[in-house]
Amino acid sequence: MKRIVLGSKLHKAMVTESVLDYEGSLGLDGALMKAAGMIPFEQVHVYNVSNGERFSTYLIKAAEGSGTVAVYGAAAHKAGVGDKLIIVSYVLLDEEETEFTVPRVVILDEKNKVREIR
């Protein structure tokens, strides 16, 4: 049996840009992607702590160290500049793998810098 479990999470990412007229996706600082073990074009789920909205999209790598968390396209209706987000990726595991797989949780500060990795 396969299970879908949390692979990684960026906690309290603050939206720095929201652009409606765009193809769509989530621009994310490359350093934050690395810290969370996420990759460009990976599917992510986004949970907006500020307004309760939820959506899924894919990642576009933004400049490393920029602190960028940019919501593009239709998702811009669900998150605006200053909103706090939880960005998660899930992994598909065999039942046996679930016993030793631990998700990577990255806690961010108010400037989208890594405060802690669990």
Q: How far apart are CA 15 and CA 111, in angstroms?
A: 10
90 given a catalytic annotation: no
| Residue 58 among the catalytic residues | yes
How far apart are alpha carbons 82 and 101 in whole angstroms?
33
The catalytic position among 18, 50, 56, 58 is 58
Q: Which of 8, 18, 25, 89 is catalytic?
A: 25
> What is the residue whose two structure tokens read 């990255």?
106
Strands (DSSP E) found in 1-118: 2-14, 17-19, 25-29, 43-48, 54-62, 69-72, 84-94, 104-108, 114-117
Just list the catalytic residues. 25, 58
